[in-house]
Amino acid sequence: MSLTRQILIAMTAAIVLGGLTQQILLIPGLNSVLHYVLNDLLTQGVFLLGGKLFVASLKLLVVPLVFVSLVCGVCHLRDQSSLGWLSLKTIVLYLATTGLAISLALLLASWWQPGAGVHMALDGSYQPPKPTPLIDVLAGIFPSNPIQAMAQGNMLQVIVFALLIGVAVGRSGDHGARIGAHFSDWNEVLMKLVTLLMNFAPYGVFCLLFTLFAQQGIGKVGDLAIYMLTVVAALLLHGLLVYPLLLKLLSGLSPVPFLLKMRNAQLFAFSTASSTATVPVTLRTVEQRLGVQNRVAAFAVPLGATINMDGTAIMQGVATVFIAQAFQLDLSMTDYLLVVLTAMLASIGTAGVPGVGLVTLALVLQQVGLPLEGIALIIGVDRILDMIRTAVNITGDAMVSVVVARSEGALNDDTYFNLRAGEQE
């Protein structure tokens, strides 16, 4: 059975069994032994531990893999001056797709009016989280201590350090060639580790989703049904229509292999709700299944996981309209433009970990003068949306990687079109 199918079965089983467990735990006067087994032993015990270990096993690979793979990609570039152009192209595409995503979200939200009929008054009881000011995010790109950057998992700093080392290795003649060969070997070894760890995904995904659904379920939807529906519709439109169209338009490639091969990575992103934790899987998919050469993938994927959050921007767009309507505040055309701009910037400042999109939503709301208390309205249903938007986030990273690779002559067409390439049983 393919890994994708195994993960899908595990997911379905976890959602059904987790949901059932939650319902059983709600029964008043439940037998204390049954309560202990379901709650303490399974939900808060074995499965919680399993889920934590699974996410840790992915995260453990992120920093070494990004560093090694990027040094490897850069030092083997024949023409290092192309690096600037490649970076510029990637960043511009990331920003453009985020701009499209947020515009789509705003259009859909203004049409479906998710907050109409929801009446909220401010009571000042909610303390909104404080996002890091954008200027600090940008200023923090350059590392002063690479070991610290790695220890803290500061992805942008690790990327900058790897780029610098890669350039230096590439220019160091025989010394560089020896080091470069070591990095290539390490890259192979780490990729093998990703493949090995991915085999545990069905168990890991089961544990993660069981705990989630046994503990919180989907939460009270009520007034938020249309909000959720709008976010999900915009996410699906962007992921299943806009990306394939862009891929076709910008690279001339059929989007079918892309969509089929992205499924595993999307399932990882969905289960972990973290683009960063999914980096090893996205990188493996982009290189070994879609045929993007390491010199593009190693740069574009981790950068995308850090600065390209189209799904998050979609949630922020719909949430902004929803909150404005719920508090009966009007948004002008200028406000909409400001939302597009700030959501693009907020997407850069959003770390690829669960729930951060809601924190950086504060930046957008602040910009258009909406009450930050609005975040409290949607927090209850955010987790499930976070899972879907993370899957969209990483799909965007992969799509841009393929487009950039094709334009740079760094895409292996045979691998791209071979549906079994890099497949894992």
Interface positions with ligand ASP (CB under 6 A): 273-275, 309, 312, 350, 352-357, 386, 389-390, 393
Nearer to ligand ASP, 115 or 396 (CB): 396
Nearer to ligand ASP, 21 or 360 (CB): 360
CB of 266 to ligand ASP, least distance (A): 12
Give the gyration radius of the chain's Cα atoms.
22
Question: What is the C-alpha to C-alpha distance for residues 415 and 77, in angstroms, rounded to an integer?
Answer: 21
CB of 402 to ligand ASP, least distance (A): 19
CB of 268 to ligand ASP, least distance (A): 11
Question: What is the C-alpha to C-alpha distance for residues 296 and 402, in angstroms, rounded to an integer?
Answer: 9
Q: Are 309 and 357 in contact (CB under 8 A)?
A: yes
CB of 362 to ligand ASP, least distance (A): 12
Nearer to ligand ASP, 109 or 273 (CB): 273
CB of 184 to ligand ASP, least distance (A): 29
Which of 224, 243, 273 shows the shortest CA–CA distance to 389?
273
3-state helix/strand/coil string of 245-297 = HHHHHHHCCCHHHHHHHCHHHHHHHHHHCCHHHHHHHHHHHHHHHCCECHHHH
Nearer to ligand ASP, 67 or 268 (CB): 268
Please state, in angstroms and as integers, the Cα–Cα distance from residue 350 to each residue in 97, 100, 237, 346, following that order.
Answer: 16, 18, 22, 6
Which of 86, 7, 60 shows the shortest CA–CA distance to 279?
60
Which of 306, 266, 270, 307 shows the shortest CA–CA distance to 286?
266
CB of 6 to ligand ASP, least distance (A): 23
Nearer to ligand ASP, 257 or 352 (CB): 352
Nearer to ligand ASP, 187 or 390 (CB): 390
Question: What is the C-alpha to C-alpha distance for residues 314 and 364, in angstroms, rounded to an integer?
Answer: 12
Which residue shows structure tokens 């690779």?
Answer: 405
Nearer to ligand ASP, 268 or 416 (CB): 268
> Which residue's Cβ lies closest to ligand ASP?
357
Residues 6+ apart with CB under 8 A from 233: 108
CB of 30 to ligand ASP, least distance (A): 34
